[in-house]
Structure 1
Amino acid sequence: MKKSLLALAVLGAFAGAAAAQSSVTIYGKLDMALTKTNDGTSTLAGATSTSDAWGLDQQAGSRLGFRGTEDLGGGLRANFLIEHRFNNDTGAQTSAANFWQQAWVGLSGGFGEIRLGRDYTPLFWVALAGDPFGYDTIGQAGAAHNQLGILPVRFSNSFSYKTPNLGGLTALVQVAAKETTAAGTKNPFGANVVYSAGPLYLGLGYENAGNQTPAALGAVKTSVWTATGAYNFGFARVGLSYTTGKAENAGGVDVADRDNWTLFANAPVGGGDLRALFAVRDNDLTNTDIKKFGVGYHYPLSKRTKVYADLGTAKETGADRRTGFDVGIQHNF
């Protein structure tokens, strides 16, 4: 009996040591909002319907994810993350791929971090820093403006390396295998340099999406730059983001030539967060533009739950103004 108790105690000690060296976290987001837009024909970033019907929609991507880390000793750690997206209003998954949002494995240590798999692009992080709505709700600038609507938010088949944080300065480089022999296609590539310390944020990102450029354009490569600068004055965080770029088809002909300015601000008001932006995207091939204004107020009920209300309106050259709003609740775990 004593030997059995001793064996159990030893096994328990080993189990405790193993648990201390590795961990897996389950996390997620559930978001639902009452939404409505008019039937204007202008492109309105963040709109979840194409008519003026009332809707009950997610305004931020609902998700379920798993992330983990294992201590390998000597400061070296193994890390992974997989994330599933779904439509909270119907329960259906967002994509045919179960873990299309993120699915990567990597190593980190004093040298920085490497990741292999499907992950966000370096330019995305700089563009996201220029949107006070975080690419969510009808108020957002989103990828339609800050990434010109011609770039993917993530690369599949990618390898990325991020440097250690050197006094607020980091750099991130990412390359993806194109996995095709089609003529004219390029291996997707991206990089950024970011300084973030105290109230100041400065970021510069570049991306050539290669064959992962959205297929609707008929493009096989892109060349896009994004720069974002912001400063937190205490009473408000104010910033400006600028993106410029082109997309080409296999014949080297431009199928997109666009640039975008986004002026934005966040301000703590009444215990919540007041958000606002004005974005203008120019299309140089068609001499048209889209002007977008967004404003919203997000109020935390706890560290994990908030309620929000947003308004977005956009006017596109040659199209009728489109305006919409959302009122919702979001829970994070």
Structure 2
Amino acid sequence: MKKSLLALAVLGAFAGAAVAQSSVTIYGKLDMGLVKANDGNSILTGGPSNDELQLAQQAGSRLGFRGTEDLGGGLRANFAIEHRFTPDNGAADSTFWQGFSWVGVSGGFGEVRLGRDYSPYFWTNIAADPWGYDTVGQIGMLHTASAVAVVSRYGNLISYRTPNMGGLTAQVAVGLAEQTNDTKDNIGFNIEYRGGPIYVGFGYHQGDSAAGITALATGLGQTPTTLGVVAGDKGTSMGITASYNFGVARLIGAYSTAKAEATLAGDDYSANNWSLAVAAPVGGGDLRAMYTRLTGKDLLDGIKNTKFGLGYHYPLSKRTKVYADVGSAKTTSLDRRTAFDFGIQHNF
């Protein structure tokens, strides 16, 4: 009897050690809100597809799995896969693991990832947006990346991130195009510093213009081809974001510039963008406000798009919040477009 109890204790100890060395986490987000816009035709990042009252997500709903395994010697194997869907109709995104799908190894040297993941430039861009690219109030990557080189994720990615060196980190990544028609690889890097109330980040992206200018072309009612951009044309964007948390409020400023080659048009599409934003704890919730301006150059000369956003997000618990936002934008020669949303978000 004593031997049996001893054997069970030993097995239990080994099982406990195995659990401690390897773990998988299931997480997700469900977001639903009422959103309504007027019939203006200016480019409004985060706005609904038309001027009808809609029940739609205002932040990307998702189901994800991430895990890590201790390999010993300070090394860990890591993975993450994230599915995106629209909860109002239950439809899955056309790219099933739209969020990301990568596997990698980390240790004292930093971390290497292989698969589909966010671009290095994405992280310095989203740091400029108090909404994190959610709701109609957001600044949006169309602005933070200056419109003509917008890429938030790389497929076929090979990335390396340094360890944290006193608040300083750097990341470099290549997303292989894997094409034979001279389509450009996605290449990017960032350098970020986080120390106390200070954040400063610089990011760079280079890729294919046809992919990068798609969001702007759609906003203008065009396609990359009608704008004269074809596969193989190069797009680049770079920008800097800085913020300081004063305690009573966090102030954020950002500037970016971008260029997209357009072989068929015989010139480049260029733009720069600046934004100012603030986030402040008010009444137990979070008050957010921002103003951003995109200014075109070269083939976009004379085109400006300005937007302001205002919102209030109130937590009902650690995992659930309600929110209300308004966003309004004006594009040169187009009518102002304004939208509002009211919603609820649950994270698990």
Q: TM-score range by the shorter chain?
A: over 0.9
Matches within 5 A, 1:127-276: 127-149=125-147, 150-183=149-182, 185-210=183-208, 212-213=211-212, 216-217=223-224, 218-219=229-230, 220=232, 221-249=234-262, 253-276=266-289
Which residue in 2 is equivalent to 1:69? 68
* Alignment equivalent of 1:111, drawn from 94, 109, 112: 109
**CA apart distance, 1:5:** 5.5
Separation in structure 2 between the aligned mates of residue 203 and residue 45 of structure 1, nearest angstrom? 23
Separation in structure 1 between the aligned mates of residue 265 and residue 179 of structure 2, nearest angstrom? 18
Distance 1:193 1:254, change over 3 A: farther
Which residue in 2 is equivalent to 1:33? 33
Separation in structure 1 between the aligned mates of residue 77 and residue 268 of structure 2, nearest angstrom? 42
1:28 is aligned with what amino acid? G
2:317 is aligned with what amino acid? S
Separation in structure 1 between the aligned mates of residue 165 and residue 31 of structure 2, nearest angstrom? 36
Which residue in 1 is equivalent to 2:329? 314
Q: Which runs of 4+ in 1 moved over 6 A?
A: none
| Residues paired across the two proteins, number | 330
Comparing 215-224 with 78-87, greater Cα deviation is found at 215-224
Which residue in 2 is equivalent to 1:58? 57
Report Cα offsets for 1:32-62 as digits up to 9, x if no partner: 0111000101011111222x21111100000
1:170 is aligned with what amino acid? T
Q: Give the SS at the match of 2:92.
A: coil
**Percent sequence identity over aligned pairs:** 58
- TM-score w.r.t. the length of structure 1 is 0.94
Separation in structure 2 between the aligned mates of residue 202 and residue 242 of structure 1, nearest angstrom? 12
Separation in structure 1 between the aligned mates of residue 142 and residue 308 of structure 2, nearest angstrom? 13
Separation in structure 1 between the aligned mates of residue 61 and residue 122 of structure 2, nearest angstrom? 19
- TM-score w.r.t. the length of structure 2 is 0.90
Which residue in 1 is equivalent to 2:294? 281
Q: Give the SS at the match of 1:283.
A: strand
Distance 1:253 1:194, change over 3 A: farther
Contact 1:226 1:243 in 2 (8 A): yes
Gaps of 5+ in 1: none
Contact 2:213 2:260 in 1 (8 A): no
Separation in structure 1 between the aligned mates of residue 124 and residue 68 of structure 2, nearest angstrom? 26
Q: Give the SS at the match of 1:86.
A: strand
- Mapped pair 1:331 → 2:346: yes
| Cα-Cα RMSD | 1.8
2:105 is aligned with what amino acid? L
Separation in structure 1 between the aligned mates of residue 17 and residue 252 of structure 2, nearest angstrom? 46
Report Cα offsets for 1:243-284 as digits up to 9, x if no partner: 101112467954521111111111111111110000111121
Which residue in 2 is equivalent to 1:295? 310
Distance 1:311 1:180, change over 3 A: same
**CA apart distance, 1:3:** 6.1
Separation in structure 2 between the aligned mates of residue 194 and residue 332 of structure 1, nearest angstrom? 27
Which residue in 1 is equivalent to 2:320? 305
Distance 1:252 1:290, change over 3 A: closer
Q: Give the SS at the match of 2:106.
A: strand
Q: Give the SS at the match of 2:91.
A: coil
Distance 1:253 1:190, change over 3 A: farther
Gaps of 5+ in 2: 215-222
Separation in structure 1 between the aligned mates of residue 108 and residue 291 of structure 2, nearest angstrom? 40
